Structure 1
Amino acid sequence: MSKRKKFSCAPLRESSNNTNINTVSEPETSTIAVLKNDIRILKENVAECKTMLQQLINTQAKSNIMLTEISTQKHIRTTFPIKSLDELRKVDDDIGENPDRYVAILKGIIGQQKYFCKRFSNIVSGDVILKLNYDGVKNMIPFKDFQKLNNALFGCLKTEGYDEKSYIADIRNAIKLFKGRHFKKQKNQEQAITETKLQKFSAGGEPYRKRKKKYKDFDQRLFSIVNSFEKDEREND
């Protein structure tokens, strides 16, 4: 009979050519470290760029606000007080395009509600107010026809309990207050001019205000004669 081959049970030796998959060579480790460092620097640069971009956005926003404020202030200076009826009509039309902006502007001019009557002439000039009343009676221009401006003013003044009737009363009072002051000032100026001229004809240089009534009557008659004479001379010239 043939002999069977015997097999050894000794453990197998690892081949010197086999490589452990968990082992990374030194050059590869160095490359990964470099890449990680590059990624970290890149992230830092991106973060810095985001910060700078946000700062630029904030700066631009502030610049836009400043430009808007400058534009608004320039608009206020060139628009108010409204100097003519044509300008009044134009402002009324413009308010329709941007009512919120005008409400803010008018609030800045008026301030508190209690100052409205006194500051109405800062919105509409005296020359225009003299041509207005609210309803347009006595051959005046009706302020109520400028509906957009009225709506904007009402929006500025409106508070709890403040209704349309209150607003109309305030507008009438504002116009009345200005006209009263205007005509009183005009009368005082005319009186001062008259008294200055009459002083020239006051006997003994006595102040006109202190002279007795009979002398004042005489001065006024004399002043009337001199005025008439001066008028004739001007017409002859």
Structure 2
Amino acid sequence: MLKLAVLLATVAAFVASATLAINPDELHLIWNTIEEDLKVRQNASEQEIRNLFEPLTILVSDAEAKLASDIQEANRGFQQQIKALEEEHPDKDISGCAEIAQIELQLIDKDLVASITSTHAQLEQEAEDELERALNVTADALEQLEMFKRRVDMCLDTRCASELNVEVVAFYENIVKDLDGAIAIANEAVLIKLGAQLDLAQLNQSNYEEDLTRLLEEVKSCIDSTL
């Protein structure tokens, strides 16, 4: 809290000084304070954004695990119904009918997994691209900081110092705004947008149940034709 109070007081001081004539030495004192603060902010922003790559990966892994679990759970009911049909016809070999259905089910599952995981990969890439764009903002902040520093170093008279002192206020505010915006974009891309999109890119239970019902009916028809 003390650090925040000191920082706010410092910012208020150089904002107030923007209307005053200052010499190059005074400009350097103001600039050194601003530069130090912006470097700390830039480093913290960059690290916060980089730290989002891990939860991004975890979200995608969890989505794929959920997909596999949902398919396995749905398949369990299907296998139980196949077993029940076999028990209904103990004197008949219906393994051929069941095997045909199992092969078709494997093909359905393979296509489903390929399609949905492809969507997951696309969503993952889009989120990573957002993080990279946010990181570019933090990198650009450093470049702007260095460019402005060169202008401060080249300033040798009161007129120049006074003019730059006015600019430095807007410069500071713009960099802080850019860094805060980059963090907000990165957090939204991973913690809000990606999670919601992955929730939607999952197994369509009703469509899958229809496929299983159709396969079960095919097995029953196959059994009837062999009796």
Normalised by the length of structure 1, the TM-score is 0.29
Normalised by the length of structure 2, the TM-score is 0.30
Structure whose CA Rg is larger: 1
* Higher helix proportion: 2
